[in-house]
């Protein structure tokens, strides 16, 4: 935080759930881009982007889908675009074959997971740097792959946002900095409350924050019911914040948000109650060291 300004990221769609879970979940490139831009008008300065197959609604790694979202946003907004590299890390074992992989596995190479980043060169991209059980699957980010992805991202001139879901992941972040795979100052995203990752609590967010490199720029968020309480907690600890349909569908208990913009509006109202203002896209670039 600087001069009482906080970067608000909107995570527009993610890779979990579909329109059966929420009919307003953005799926097509147009829906994703429009949802991000609308959230920008509500106070978000960064848009975290996943893409989905427009026909099935399932997560996709299609370059053309990323490109369409990227170009639509660039033509309509000055928000900072943060493209995910998390796609391609899902492993589901085939129990009938000890070395086999079951349907739903998306395991991909570092090159495949970063192709859209290298080609489109957004200002920011996510880089998941640790592995974990993720619901019924494994979210696999083996260290040699993480190092290779970090190298490719660095060579493309893109700033990585290091996604950490538990304490050991922060240690990997320190390693990447020490080995020169990531330039200082680093950006960390503290991800709490994801099943089998670190639980969402004030104590755990503080624990993670204290383990970061001294020069780290950081944000924190939690999924589900803890999402808005952790908006306040992250801001009070000096971090940036994140909301969006990737993390939470609800404005309050039993009341679903109609859009990503509504979630951003509530986050902004929480910040303003604390005398904290959402950063503009240009201010966000300054706060994130992107200029």
Residue 278 Cα distances to 110, 114, 248, 284, 287, angstroms: 34, 30, 20, 9, 11
Q: Tell me the C-alpha distance between 98 and 244, whole Å.
A: 37
pLDDT band at 32 (very low <50, low <70, confident <90, very high): very high
pLDDT in tens, 3-21: 799 999 999 998 887 888 8
User: Could you tell me where the beta strands, DSSP code E, fall in 12-134?
Assistant: 46-49, 51-52, 59-60, 80-83, 90-91, 124-128, 132-134
- Read off the CATH number of the domain in which 256 is found: 3.20.20.70
Q: For 87-91, 186-190, 246-250, 283-287, which range has the lowest pLDDT when averaged over its residues?
A: 87-91
Of 46, 63, 47, which Cα lies nearest the Cα of 117? 63
139: β partners: 90, 132
Report pTM. Answer: 0.95
Residue 49 Cα distances to 3, 60, 181, 252, angstroms: 28, 12, 23, 24
pLDDT in tens, 105-117: 666 788 999 999 9
Q: Tell me the C-alpha distance between 271 and 267, whole Å.
A: 6
Number of domain units in the chain: 1
Q: Angle 29-42/63-74 helices, nearest 10 degrees? A: 40
Dihedral angle computed from the Cα positions of residues 37, 42, 43 and 46, in that order, rounded to the nearest 10 degrees? -20
> Which range of residues forms the domain containing residue 169?
5-287
51: β partners: 60
Residue 191 Cα distances to 95, 162, 209, angstroms: 30, 10, 11
* Res 182: pLDDT: 98
pLDDT in tens, 156-197: 999 999 999 999 999 999 999 999 999 999 999 999 999 999
């Amino acid at each position: 935080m600087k001069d009482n300004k906080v970067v608000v990221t909107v995570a527009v769609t993610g890779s979990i759930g579909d329109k059966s879970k929420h009919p307003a979940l953005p799926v097509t490139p147009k829906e994703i881009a429009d949802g991000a831009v609308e959230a920008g008008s509500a106070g978000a300065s960064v848009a975290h982007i996943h893409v989905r197959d427009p026909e099935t609604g399932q997560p996709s790694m299609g370059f053309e889908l990323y490109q369409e979202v990227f170009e639509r946003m660039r033509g309509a907004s000055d928000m900072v675009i943060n493209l995910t590299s998390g796609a391609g890390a899902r492993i589901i074992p085939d129990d009938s074959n000890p070395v086999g992989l079951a349907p739903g596995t998306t395991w991909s190479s570092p090159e495949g997971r970063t192709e859209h980043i290298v080609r489109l060169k957004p200002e920011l991209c996510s880089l998941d740097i640790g592995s974990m059980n993720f619901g019924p699957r494994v979210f696999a980010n083996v260290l040699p792959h993480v190092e290779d992805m970090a190298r490719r991202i660095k060579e493309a001139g893109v700033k990585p946002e290091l996604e950490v879901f538990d304490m050991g992941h922060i240690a990997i972040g320190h390693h990447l900095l020490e080995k020169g795979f990531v330039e200082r100052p680093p950006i960390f995203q503290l991800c709490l409350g994801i099943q089998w990752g670190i639980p969402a609590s004030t104590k755990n967010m503080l624990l993670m924050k204290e383990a970061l490199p001294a020069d780290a720029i950081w944000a924190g968020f939690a999924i589900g019911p803890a999402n808005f309480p952790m908006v306040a907690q992250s801001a009070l600890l000096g971090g940036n914040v994140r909301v969006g349909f990737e993390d939470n569908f609800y404005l309050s208990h039993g009341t679903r948000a109609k859009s990503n913009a509504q979630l951003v509006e509530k986050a902004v109202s929480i910040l303003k109650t604390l005398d904290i203002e959402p950063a503009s896209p240009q201010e966000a670039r300054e706060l994130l060291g992107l200029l």
